[in-house]
Amino acid sequence: MATTADFRNGLVIRWSGELYQIDYFQHVKPGKGGAFVRTKLRKISDGSVQENTFRAGHSVETVRVETRTMQYLYPDQDLHYFMDSQTYDQIPLTEGQLGDRKSYLKENMDVQVQFDEDGNALTIELPASVQLEVTETGPSDKGDTASGGGKPATLETGLIVRVPFFVTTGTVVKVDTRSGEYLGRA
């Protein structure tokens, strides 16, 4: 059991009979009334996100999670297959389990796969940034650089990111997996 003081991003808890991963939490101490913790919880089974508020000191059941490095192999309809590099075992994860993380997956990429105490695959942890190739982007207009804006670019995984005007099709860019922002050219 853990209290709200033990909350951290990525913690897996059992709440209302379901497994949830904490995507975001914020301790709030209002001037009047008791403290509370505002959270965004991602349901492991289908990837849906819901917001919930816990009273400060509220106890929840934590789930022991084991993390193993696995290689992303390929997608097949709504399943994505990963292989353990040590044992060559392959496991599928659903799009619901991956959520929006599937937009950053490239074939042969190493990721951290989380397993519960029964050995069931829960979800993945991505590296802080990934390098993806720009497959489509519009032309930049001459003199457009003063606004400091950018233009949308479609990456090889289908992810759309705002990039500076000088980025062209075929350029490999570095993207932050936590925020989805362009970090620079690779």
pLDDT recorded at residue 141? 61
User: Which residues in the chain land under pLDDT 70?
Assistant: 140-148
pLDDT recorded at residue 88? 92
Question: At the topology level of CATH, where does 66-125 sit?
Answer: OB fold (Dihydrolipoamide Acetyltransferase, E2P) (2.40.50)
- Over residues 16-36, the pLDDT tens digits come to 888 898 988 999 998 888 899
Torsion angle defined by CA atoms of residues 127, 104, 110 and 166, in that order, rounded to the nearest 10 degrees: -80
pLDDT recorded at residue 9? 86
pLDDT recorded at residue 145? 57
Q: Tell me if domain 2-62 and domain 129-185 are identical in fold.
A: no
CATH 2.30.30.30 fits 2-62, yes or no: yes
pLDDT recorded at residue 104? 94
Per domain, the residue ranges of the chain are: 2-62, 66-125, 129-185
Spatial CA neighbour of 95 closest among 119, 118, 114, 79: 79
Domain spanning 129-185 has what CATH number? 2.40.50.140
pLDDT recorded at residue 39? 93
